[in-house]
């Protein structure tokens, strides 16, 4: 049977200020937030509570009750950062920890409690350690997440423990709101006379579901252990980044490269240890006068080689304009992928493939990866759509040869031809200010348009023409068109 | 169609009359019946058949081919036609937005280890300084640079300069005229494309262009 420990941090925003040493908290103090165009109190400290202020009150009312009240709007971002810090800290108690935002942490303590001398002792230990960190806490321990949460928030004591298998009994006395239901549902239940969880046990769950929705029965089932509701620890994705702050700004390229060398060695060392590589690296250079300069490079395959990072950044660094120097640097690796190690020192093919990728990286980082491309076949019968150009980086080239012989140059759109002696195809014509005589012609090859697309819907006739001047052209006309214009669609070798 | 042919180009026609008058003994001496493009060098190609010269030369190289140019030059390249002569998998397209970027990319690719075959579509003339830099890059990397001159021809540091034009013949044929050769290896050939036919061994550091049959 799993055992869950729920940590509730009821005064997290206030604790954050206490930890910062805010002197205003020696008097009556409250955190406020704007709710539907009115400022309301969200958290109030002990002195404020003693003066008669309550959380949830309108700010104006609270001021009337307690004229000395000092307030500050909440800062959800910083509060979440503190919560995440505590979430990482909670590793000391159990390896499986998940966040329960905005003000809780859930720990799966199955098999951990004996290390602390028992569940109640473990709860007490957590409480002591957190109060050392100046954070107020209430703790509930039960068989399920829902029950542990409910006990932490509504259990009454600082540490409430429901013995194994007795979670339902422990919940019975608690109010319905302990099930983490929406406010509206709680008031609906109260109107029906269902105020405590024990009342819900007496009802048939089908009737509860029909009247109040499936959400209620789901919550009840999860809290009483009838439906599975495991703690899913949110894996802390490792960040591969390093930063460096210097006492004095630097500006020479050699110095910048030395800094980058150190950062890259650190980041790539961690990547190598984890057998991973990154496809992109970002470098932020913070200048003392002009602020942050983001630089970034890409790789055609996952890379964890510090030398390569340095090499690819060298161009970007040399272009950076630094007047008064920079004193803060951060290198981060993004698009992390596992590396499949490959021996490149043995065998011609592997080395060639490696050299090809290095060249693609070098070119791509300067002129853009979208400008280094390969051909990709497409399943289509229209000559200009039989292939496409796609980005070369990160793609294994594959080509399936098209079934028909086509010119080596294809002009899209086709180029207009001045017909001098008409014929089919024209006997003499001018193209690109050059005169041509038709000597031999083969055709027509008729290609029908893709009627299912919104494009030029004219049927095309292609002729392969050997001109007396030597060049072999692919002439195009649209049969059935009013004016019989001719175009050059391509050139054969 | 389209499978990987090891192409053999056959010397089919006769030398052009002008060429005969110019330097047939040197030609015979320098080239024999084989045209060879030295690696670690850049070569210039002009004329309406320049594409085909580059494609056939690159097909001999067989691996690591970069085709560089501005958008207008690359967009018209049609792999469904090129596939007859070249493995399309080996081809990387590099589209530059300016002349400077184009030259930088060519320099990097020629300099890179791995002896790539770099086909550079030059929209205008290449100055002597620029061609020297490319030449030095090619010497460093050991690859081969084929510069398709779309603009005019000018003095350059290239090893050879070719003028290529398609010809009227029973089957597709081209006239390749070597107008300049640093080692005096000028000459002219009429070339046809033959299907698979094994030629001789390649000399070291050369790219075989024409497997010989006597003229």
Cα distance between residue A453 and residue B37, in whole Å = 47
Q: Is the pLDDT of residue A113 over 70?
A: yes
**pLDDT, position A236:** 59
Q: What is the mean pLDDT of residues B45-72?
A: 87
Cα distance between residue B44 and residue B149, in whole Å = 7
**pLDDT, position A233:** 78
Q: Is the pLDDT of residue B197 over 60?
A: no
> Cβ–Cβ of A360/B92 closer than 8 Å?
yes
Q: Are A374 and B133 in contact (CB under 8 A)?
A: no
Give the model confidence (pLDDT) of A429-463 as tens digits.
999 999 999 998 987 899 888 888 888 888 899 99
Q: Is the pLDDT of residue A328 over 90?
A: yes
Q: What is the mean pLDDT of residues B159-182?
A: 85
Cα distance between residue B79 and residue A168, in whole Å = 72
Specify burial of residue B90 (Cβ count, 10 A radius: 0-12, 13-18, 19+): buried
Q: Which helix (H) or strand (E) holds A154?
A: helix A145-154
pLDDT above 90 covers what percent of chain B?
32
Q: Is the pLDDT of residue A365 over 70?
A: yes
Any bridge partners for residue A243, and if so which?
A: A330
Decide: helix, strand or coil at residue A1: coil
**pLDDT, position B213:** 31
Lowest mean pLDDT among A137-151, A205-219, A324-338, B6-20: B6-20
Tell me the chain A residues in contact with residue B64 when contact means C-beta distances shorter than 8 Å.
352, 355-356
Instruction: Provide the CB-side half-sphere exposure for A210 (13 A, CA).
Output: 5
Residues 146-205 (A) with a CB less than 8 A from some CB of B:
none
Any bridge partners for residue A44, and if so which?
A: A30
Task: Measure in Å the smallest separation between the Cα of B182 and chain A Cα atoms.
Answer: 28
**pLDDT, position B173:** 81
Decide: helix, strand or coil at residue B41: strand
**pLDDT, position A79:** 92
Helix intervals (H) in B32-184: 50-61, 71-74, 79-82, 99-111, 128-141
Task: Measure in Å the smallest separation between the Cα of A409 and chain B Cα atoms.
Answer: 5
Answer whether A239 touches B (CB < 8 Å).
Answer: no
Q: What is the mean pLDDT of residues A357-373?
A: 89
Helix intervals (H) in A224-344: 253-273, 306-319
Which of the listed ranges A397-406, B20-29, B75-84 does the model predict with the highest average pLDDT? B75-84
Phi then psi for residue A191, to 5 deg, are -65, -30
Higher-pLDDT residue of A228, A105: A105
Q: What is the mean pLDDT of residues A414-427?
A: 90
Any bridge partners for residue B163, and if so which?
A: B46, B177
Confidence of residue A340 (pLDDT cuts 50, 70, 90): confident
Q: Is the pLDDT of residue B5 over 50?
A: no
Cα distance between residue A266 and residue A408, in whole Å = 49
**pLDDT, position A260:** 93
Q: Are A480 and A459 in contact (CB under 8 A)?
A: yes
Least CB–CB distance from A367: residue in B63, B78, B105: B105
**pLDDT, position B186:** 73
Instruction: Provide the CB-side half-sphere exposure for B48 (13 A, CA).
Output: 16
Q: Is the pLDDT of residue B187 over 80?
A: no
**pLDDT, position B167:** 85
Mean pLDDT of chain A: 89
Q: Are B208 and B29 in contact (CB under 8 A)?
A: no
Q: Is the pLDDT of residue B90 over 50?
A: yes
Polymer length of chain A: 493
Least CB–CB distance from B52: residue in A359, A372, A493: A493
Cα distance between residue A259 and residue A309, in whole Å = 13
**pLDDT, position B12:** 30
Q: Are A138 and A191 in contact (CB under 8 A)?
A: no
Q: Is the pLDDT of residue B17 over 80?
A: no
Q: Is the pLDDT of residue A332 over 60?
A: yes
């Amino acid at each position: 049977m799993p055992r869950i420990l729920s940590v509730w941090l009821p005064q997290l925003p206030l604790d954050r200020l206490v930890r910062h040493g805010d002197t205003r908290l020696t008097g009556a103090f409250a955190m406020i937030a704007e709710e539907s165009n009115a400022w309301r109190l969200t958290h109030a400290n002990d002195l404020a509570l003693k003066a008669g202020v309550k959380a949830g009150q309108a700010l104006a009312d609270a001021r009337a009750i307690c004229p000395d009240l000092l307030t500050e709007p909440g800062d959800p971002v910083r509060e979440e950062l503190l919560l995440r810090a505590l979430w990482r800290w909670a590793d000391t108690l159990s390896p499986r920890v998940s966040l329960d935002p905005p003000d809780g942490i859930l720990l799966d303590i199955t098999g951990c409690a004996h290390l602390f001398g028992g569940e109640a002792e473990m709860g007490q230990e957590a409480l002591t350690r957190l109060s050392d960190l100046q954070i107020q806490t209430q703790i509930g321990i039960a068989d399920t997440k829902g029950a542990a949460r409910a006990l932490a928030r509504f259990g009454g004591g600082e540490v409430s423990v429901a013995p194994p298998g007795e979670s339902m009994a422990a919940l019975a006395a608690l109010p319905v709101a302990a099930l983490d239901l929406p406010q509206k549902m709680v008031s609906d239940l109260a109107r029906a006379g269902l105020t405590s969880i024990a009342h819900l046990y007496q009802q048939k769950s089908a009737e509860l579901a029909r009247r109040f929705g499936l959400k209620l029965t789901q919550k009840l089932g999860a809290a009483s252990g009838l439906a599975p509701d495991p703690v899913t620890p949110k894996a802390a994705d490792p960040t591969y980044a390093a930063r460096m702050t210097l006492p004095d700004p630097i500006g020479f390229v050699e110095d910048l490269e030395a800094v980058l060398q150190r950062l890259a060695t650190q980041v790539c060392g961690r990547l190598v240890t984890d057998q991973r590589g990154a496809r992109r690296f970002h470098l932020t250079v913070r200048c003392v006068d002009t602020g942050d300069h983001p630089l970034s490079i890409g790789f055609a395959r996952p890379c964890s080689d510090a030398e390569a990072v340095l090499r690819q950044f060298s161009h970007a660094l040399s272009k950076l304009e630094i007047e008064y120097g920079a004193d803060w640097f951060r290198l981060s690796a993004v698009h992390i992928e596992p590396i499949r190690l490959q021996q490149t020192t043995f065998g011609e093919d592997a080395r060639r493939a490696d050299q090809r990728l290095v060249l693609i990286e070098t070119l791509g980082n300067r002129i853009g990866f979208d400008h280094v491309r390969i051909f990709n076949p497409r399943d289509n019968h229209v000559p200009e759509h039989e292939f496409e150009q796609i980005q070369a980086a990160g793609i294994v080239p594959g080509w399936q040869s098209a079934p028909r012989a086509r010119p080596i140059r294809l002009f899209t759109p086709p180029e207009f031809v001045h017909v001098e002696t008409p014929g089919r195809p024209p006997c003499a014509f001018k193209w690109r200010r050059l005169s041509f005589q038709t000597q031999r012609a083969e055709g027509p090859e008729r290609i029908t348009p893709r009627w299912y697309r919104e494009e030029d819907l004219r049927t095309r006739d292609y002729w392969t023409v050997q001109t007396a001047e030597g060049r072999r052209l692919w002439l195009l006309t649209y049969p059935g068109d009013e004016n019989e214009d001719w175009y050059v669609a391509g050139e054969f070798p | 169609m389209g499978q990987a042919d090891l192409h053999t180009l056959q010397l089919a026609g006769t030398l052009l009359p002008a060429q005969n008058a110019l330097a047939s003994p040197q030609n015979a001496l320098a080239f024999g019946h084989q045209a060879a493009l030295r690696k670690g060098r850049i070569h210039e190609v002009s004329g309406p058949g320049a594409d085909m010269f580059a494609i056939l030369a690159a097909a001999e190289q067989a691996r690591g081919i970069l085709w560089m140019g501005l958008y207008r030059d690359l967009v018209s390249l049609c792999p469904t036609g090129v596939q007859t002569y070249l493995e399309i998998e080996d081809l990387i397209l590099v589209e530059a937005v300016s002349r400077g970027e184009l030259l930088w990319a060519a320099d990097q690719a020629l300099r890179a280890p791995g002896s790539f075959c770099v086909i550079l579509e030059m929209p205008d003339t290449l100055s002597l300084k620029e061609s020297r830099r490319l030449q030095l890059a090619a010497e460093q990397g050991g690859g081969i640079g084929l510069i398709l001159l779309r603009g005019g021809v000018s003095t350059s540091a290239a090893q050879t300069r070719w003028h290529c034009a398609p010809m009227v013949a029973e089957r597709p044929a081209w006239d390749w005229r070597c107008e300049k050769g640093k080692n005096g290896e000028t000459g002219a050939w009429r070339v046809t494309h033959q299907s698979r036919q094994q030629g001789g061994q390649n000399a070291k550091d050369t790219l075989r262009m024409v497997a010989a049959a006597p003229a």
